[in-house]
Amino acid sequence: MSGTSRLELRLVAVRFGREAGLSAISLAVAPGETVAIVGTSGAGKSSLLRAIAGLDPVAGGSVVIEGVDRSSAPPEARGAVYLHQTPLLFPHLSVAENIAFPLRVRRVDAMAIAKRVDEVLEKLRLGSLRDRDPATLSGGQRHRVALARAIAGRPPVLLLDEPLTGLDPATRAETLEAIRSALADYDPATLYVTHDLAEAGSIADRIGVLLAAEIQQIDTPVNLFEQPASAAVAEFVGFSNRITGESDGSTFRAGLWEIPLQTDFTGRAVLLFRPQSLYVEDAGELTGEVLSVAHSPQGPRLRVKVQGVELDATASRSGMTERGDARFRLDNPGLRIFAEL
Amino acid sequence: MIPRPETGSAARALLLLLLFLLAAGPLLLLLLLSFGEGWFWPALLPAEFSGSAWGSLASGASGTRLLRAALNSLLLGLSTGLLASLLALPLGRQLARLTGWRRMVGSAAAFLPVAAPPVTLGVGLNYTFLVSGLGGSFIGVLLAHLIPALGYTCLFFMGYFEVYDDRLDEAALTLGASRAQLFRPVTLPLLRRPLLEAALLGFLISWAQVPLTLLIGQGLVSTLPLELLSYVNAGQDRFAAAGAIILTLPALLTLAVAGLAIKRTGAVVA
């Protein structure tokens, strides 16, 4: 893997102040590949990026960029540009001067700087803003300029820290498009931190789930969302319904629940499924009660009690969204079962 | 939208007028006094106006003395402003980074010369400066002016660095700038405005300083405020008024420069 990867983390440990923090983080990112790191708030996603960038120390392991161990190199010698959540433009420089900054500090000759700045301005559709003062830009424009500046020097590694957080939908779409354009400009290895799974799924080639100070699973979006490797990952990626019971290898039992499910283990088990796998249907085989209804752009979300267990469910196509007794159907393909640890 | 009552805007206008009169009133009075002649109670205005007081101040021995005092004041003010801002910049930055008891001690050290009356400072410094041969010298007065100026400017920079966004430095570092490269293209332009403001603050502290100049200068270092004081002591009100206007001008100029600097460099971090 190290032969083809541009960024490689080998058992990297990062402390959170005096606390232990992250331990033994290993992953590799190939040229042109985008790996999203997702996790709950406080999981250490940003700390990991800061340690890779050299802004915070690495407590153990090594950060290898383009085959060279840069764990103790200063930030400017790592070849990893860290893009903060808030686009931090130099307020005393124009848009073009901001973009030229990484080239100027490397003493690239003026002609080459001008050519590259023009290229990047065009790539990110910033030509009309070339001489503007950063303070006069809109939120989306600032993000685009910060991205343009980040890629101007063609760093081998790009570290994007929650770049869409706090943006309105229109600006999110604009910024996401700018990120795609920036990443298509050359072939950086990109680590993209977010807590939004949909965002990660829309931009990443692979997604790593950072939970309990470790990367629990790193996989393609499809595999991660459909085949989570553990109960913790499954819950994180949206399998929010959890029933604890027993499995004899062919059937899962918990109270009134009895579901035929093949497992390669027997004993205590956790059954997990998404709300979309449980829905109201008149001909459904399960009986229960709708406790509450919450409406969202994705459709109504129900809180229900089915066979003695409170769960999240969705409405059927017939649109049953009233409180009261109802029948439910559970889609077997959407069920995931894990041995209880 | 809730309509504002008429009485509110009238009260605001009245308050603004009052503030203007409080600020401009004394200056207007000084102008009348410096240009007026034969102004005796209970007359509301001087009997006639002339520039004789200004002419006398600008000519002859008094003119030379006043010019020397003004130059001394200017040199002291500029040196104090420059040195205080340059010294306070790193000190204030360090103070802002301190935590716990170290921060308390550091803040108290910076606050002490601000809180202590200049006379107390002067009396305290007098003996030391005499023994060290600095009493009655320009350098001695400059060092004495630096003490309160440094206190003010340290506190000023401490406040500035408490809200300074270090992430701009981080952005520059990961973009490839070394720590040494960081200063000229990033840190210095961002510090230009606070440096100017701190230098102006130091200048003003020195420019209006009387007790420290009097005690440390021992009458051998003449400054504009001391000259002004001597006119007041001698009962030469018209000269004192003209001198007071001259003393006020740099303060007004400083305000204007600071206002302009804020307008020009008021850009926020994007």
The pLDDT, as a whole number, for residue B270 is 29
| Contact assignment for A88 to B181 by CB distance below 8 Å | no
| Angle at alpha carbon of residue B110, lines to B107 and B112, rounded to 5° | 105
CB atoms closer than 10 angstroms to residue B235: 8
Cis link prior to B42 (omega < 30° from 0)?
A: yes
List CB contacts (< 8 A) between A80 and chain B: 174
A54/B269 touch (CB, cutoff 8 Å), yes or no: no
Chain A residue whose CA is closest to B181:
A105
A1 pLDDT higher than 50: no
Partners of B189 on chain A (C-beta within 8 Å) are 90, 92
Residues 6+ apart with CB under 8 A from A207: A35, A36, A37, A38, A197, A200, A201, A218, A219, A220, A221, A224
**A20 — pLDDT class (breaks 50, 70, 90):** confident
Residue among B176, B189, B269 minimizing CB distance to A105: B176
pLDDT for residue B267:
36
Residue A207, min C-alpha distance to chain B (Å): 24
All structural domains of chain A with their residue ranges: 7-228, 239-339
Q: What tokens were used for A119?
A: 């290229």
Query: Measured between CA atoms, how close is B187 to chain A, in angstroms?
Result: 10
* Cβ–Cβ under 8 Å, residues A134 and A91: yes
The reply to whether B141 falls in a domain is: yes
Per-residue confidence (pLDDT) for residue B71, from 0 to 100: 93
Q: What is the pLDDT of residues B62-74, one digit of tens each?
A: 788 888 999 999 9
Average pLDDT over residues B210-231: 93
Q: Is position B24 within any domain?
A: no
Q: Per-residue pLDDT averaged across A81-110, rounded?
A: 93
Closest CA to A154 of A126, A182, A115: A182
Residues of A in contact with B186 (CB under 8 A): 90
Q: What is the 3-state secondary structure (H, E, C) of chain A?
A: CCCCCCEEEEEEEEEECCEEEEEEEEEEECCCCEEEEEECCCCCHHHHHHHHHCCCCCCEEEEEECCEECCCCCHHHCCEEEECCCCCCCCCCCHHHHHHHHHHCCCCCHHHHHHHHHHHHHHCCCHHHCCCCHHHCCHHHHHHHHHHHHHHCCCCEEEEECCCCCCCHHHHHHHHHHHHHHHHHCCCEEEEEECCHHHHHHHCCEEEEEECCEEEEEECHHHHHHCCCCHHHHHHCCCCEEEEEEECCCEEEECCEEEECCCCCCEEEEEEECHHHEEECCCCCEEEEEEEEECCCCCCEEEEEECCEEEEEECCCCCCCCCEEEEEEECHHHCEEEECC
Closest chain B residue to A142, measured at CA = B270
Q: Is residue B198 part of a domain?
A: yes
Put simply, the answer to whether A55 touches B170 (Cβ < 8 Å) is yes
Chain B contact set for A150 (CB, 8 A): 175
B270/A78 CB distance under 8 A: no
CATH (domain of B201): 1.10.3720.10
pLDDT range class, residue B53, cuts 50, 70, 90? confident
Preferred mutation among A82, A105, A142, A157 to probe B, highest tally of B CBs within 10 A:
A105
**Three-state SS annotation for chain B:** CCCCCHHHHHHHHHHHHHHHHHHHHHHHHHHHHHHEECCCCCCCCCCEECCHHHHHHHCHHHHHHHHHHHHHHHHHHHHHHHHHHHHHHHHHHHHHHCCHHHHHHHHHHHHHHHHCCHHHHHHHHHHHHHHCCCCCCHHHHHHHHHHHHHHHHHHHHHHHHHHCCCHHHHHHHHCCCCHHHHHHHHHHHHHHHHHHHHHHHHHHHHHCCCHHHHHHHCCCCCCHHHHHHHHHHCCCHHHHHHHHHHHHHHHHHHHHHHHHHHHHCCCCCC
Task: Give the chain B residue whose CA is nearest to the CA of A89.
Answer: B270
Q: Which chain A residues contact residue B173 at CB under 8 A?
A: 54-55, 74-76
**Per the CB < 8 Å rule, is B175 touching A149?**
yes
Asked if residue B19 belongs to a domain, the reply is no
- Cβ contact A87–B270 (<8 Å): yes
CB contact (8 A) between residue B270 and residue A135: yes
**Interface of chain A against chain B, CB under 8 Å?**
53-55, 74-76, 78, 80-82, 84, 86-92, 101-102, 104-106, 133-135, 137, 142, 145-146, 149-150, 153, 155, 159
Contacts A102 to B, Cβ<8 Å? 175-176
Q: A15-29, B96-110, B192-206, B251-265: lowest mean pLDDT where?
A: B251-265
Number of domains chain B contains: 1
User: Which CATH entry fits the domain spanning A7-228: 4.10.640.10, 3.30.450.20, 3.20.20.70, 3.40.50.300?
Assistant: 3.40.50.300
Asked whether residue B119 is assigned to any structural domain, the reply reads yes
Q: What residue of B is the nearest CA neighbor of A87?
A: B270
**Within a domain: residue B37?**
no
CA-to-CA separations, B98 to A57, A278, B37, B108, B162, in angstroms, rounded: 21, 56, 59, 13, 10
Contact residues of B toward A, CB < 8 A: 165, 167-168, 170-179, 181, 185-186, 189-190, 192, 265, 267-270
**Nearest-by-Cβ selection for A105 from B168, B177, B265:** B177
| Stretch A219-236: mean pLDDT | 95
Tell me: pLDDT of B260 over 90.
no
Mean pLDDT of B191-212: 92
* Both structure tokens of A328: 């439910």
Which of B178, B267, B270 lies closest to A88 in CB terms?
B270
Which residues of chain B does A87 touch, with a Cβ-Cβ cutoff of 8 Å? 270
Residue B18 within any structural domain of the chain: no
pLDDT at B268: 35
The model's pLDDT over A140-161, given as tens digits with 9 standing for 90+, comes to: 899 999 999 999 999 999 999 9
What pLDDT sits at residue B23?
A: 84
pLDDT at A2: 47
Q: By the 8 A CB rule, do B33 and B237 touch?
A: yes
Is the pLDDT at B202 greater than 80? The verdict is yes
What's the domain range around B242? 69-264
A134 and B270 within 8 Å at the Cβ level: the answer is yes
CB contact under 8 A, B174 and A82: yes
Which residues in A lie closer than 8 A to residue B174 (C-beta atoms)?
Answer: 53-55, 75-76, 78, 80-82, 159
Evaluate whether residue B143 is within a structural domain.
yes
A12: pLDDT strictly greater than 90: yes
Pick the closest to residue A295 from A279, A315, A310 (CA basis). A315
Q: What is the pTM of this model?
A: 0.77
Task: Please name which of B246, B248, B157 lies closest in space to residue B204, comparing C-alpha atoms.
Answer: B248
Q: What is the dihedral angle through the alpha carbons of B100, B105, B108, B109, rounded to the nearest 10 degrees?
A: -140
